[in-house]
Structure 1
Amino acid sequence: MELQKTPLKDCFIIKPNVFRDERGLFYETYNQKAFEKTTGLKVDFVQDNQSVSSKGVLRGLHFQTGEMAQAKLVRVVKGKVLDIVVDIRNDSETFGKSFSIVLDDVEHLQLFVPRGFAHGFITLSEESIFSYKCDNFYNKASESGIIYNDATLALDWHLPKEEFIISEKDLELLTFEEVLS
């Protein structure tokens, strides 16, 4: 396992050791001892989620607030997505900054998203299977998010807007400024 830094404080990329031969490939999607040794973090993941999406499906930018905030370890099982995170921690040196990365089923990179980040992705391939571990349980009362087209963040989702498929719930998310107030 190799750790790669991102421009955002506490957010990093994990490159697993992938073993390939004529049969295909094998890699560990998660190993607690290797994760702790490589990252220096002790994270107790308690929930594992998976979504299946078609091209253009945009999910996010979601987060949970207060005691129910979640750190996530995200990866793509099938297909390709553009994954975006935004640091919304008021006391962070990278507050308000975003980072994006293409995650796919070829390189098998994973992204560690710390607590205090808004997170979302859009499917770039015909279909994607997206998997993520959380260190806290989902809590509807603590759920919030930032609208995908927030003017302050000016995020590039890599697809034309007319290809987006967005849930009604995600179309009603707050602006970055509203989240701060």
Structure 2
Amino acid sequence: MSGPVIESLGIEGAWAVTPRQFGDDRGVFLESFRGDLLEPHVGHRLDVVQTNLSVSAAGVLRGLHYADIPPSQAKYVTCVSGAVLDVLVDIRVGSPTFGRSASVLLDDVDRRAVYVAEGLGHAFMSLAGGSAVMYLCSAPYAPGREHGVNPLDPELGIDWPSADRDGRPITPILSDKDRDAPTLSEARDAGLLPDYQAAQGFYASLRPNPDPK
């Protein structure tokens, strides 16, 4: 069986994974996660310690979320039903791609997934009613270490959809917490964002043969 197609999203630690699907008159089979094949790209095996599932109405916008390093929380995200526009943002202060975003359509057609490294911001907008998103996480949820940036911050320059996948108009539906989150500049000025060098050190510690430094 052929493995998935794994592509860089132009941001260190961000990958899109498109699985091979095998269908017949009974349905479809695919390997939705192959940690052994993802490892050479990421640099270490994803240690899954928590799995989350969210179900969202069309227009629901969740994020932009991140967690303190260490340990933060790496995520492998896929949409098992429906469709979402998944967005990753480099919010690591000092990164050569700081402020850059990448968008990937996750749906129940291509069944693509994204890998989100620790220290990156993550958000998605549901493009269909009942969109179900599955997350494989490297660390458990820790409320005191979780933060957010307002996903509608103009500085981020994210082009959120104005229509669902059937062409019907939608507008962003945010939680109070996400709506009240600081802008990217406000979070940076407050010292809330991850540091790129600290993230690099943490990534190195996860490799099979970490640098003794």
- TM-score, with length taken from structure 2: 0.80
> What's the CA shift string for 1:73-118, capped at 9, x where partnerless?
0000000101111001123221110111111000011000111111
Q: Is the 8 A contact 1:61 1:148 kept in 2?
A: yes
Q: State the AA in 2 paired with 1:47.
A: Q
Tell me the distance in 2 between the aligned counterparts of 1:121 and 1:55: 11
Deviations 1:116-168 (A, max 9, x none): 11100010112200011111111000110110211211211112797221111
Deviation, 1:10, is 2.1
Q: How many pairs does the alignment contain? A: 181
1:178 paired residue among 179, 182, 186: 186
Q: Matched residues in 1 for 2:148 and 2:118: separation?
A: 14
Summarize the alignment of residues 4-19 of structure 1 with structure 2, pairs less than 5 Å apart: 4-19=7-22
Paired letter, 1:119: H
CA distance in 2, matches of 1:89, 1:111: 18
Q: Does 1:79 align with 2:87?
A: no
The one-letter amino acid paired with 2:121 is A
Contact 2:71/2:118 (CA < 8 Å) preserved in 1?
A: no
Q: Is the 8 A contact 1:81 1:123 kept in 2?
A: yes
- Give the structure with the larger strand fraction: 1
Match of 1:166 in 2: 174
3-state SS of 1:163 partner: coil
Q: CA deviation at 1:65?
A: 1.1
Do the aligned residues in 2 keep the contact of 1:84 with 1:98 (CA within 8 Å)? yes
Alignment of 1:1-181 (within 5 A): 1-37=4-40, 39-159=42-162, 163-181=171-189
CA drift of 1:35 comes to 2.8
1:20-69 Cα offsets, whole Å, 9 max, x none, are 11111011222332332565432211111000001001100011113241
Q: Secondary structure at the match of 2:185?
A: helix
Question: Mind listing any 5+ residue stretches in structure 2 that lack a counterpart?
Answer: 164-168, 190-213
Secondary structure, in 3 states, of the residue corresponding to 1:179? helix
State, as a whole percentage, how many aligned pairs show the same letter: 37
The structure with the larger Rg is: 2
Which residue identity lines up with residue 113 of structure 2 in the other structure?
Q
CA contact (8 A) 1:68 1:137 kept: no
Which amino acid in the other structure matches residue 64 of structure 2? Answer: L
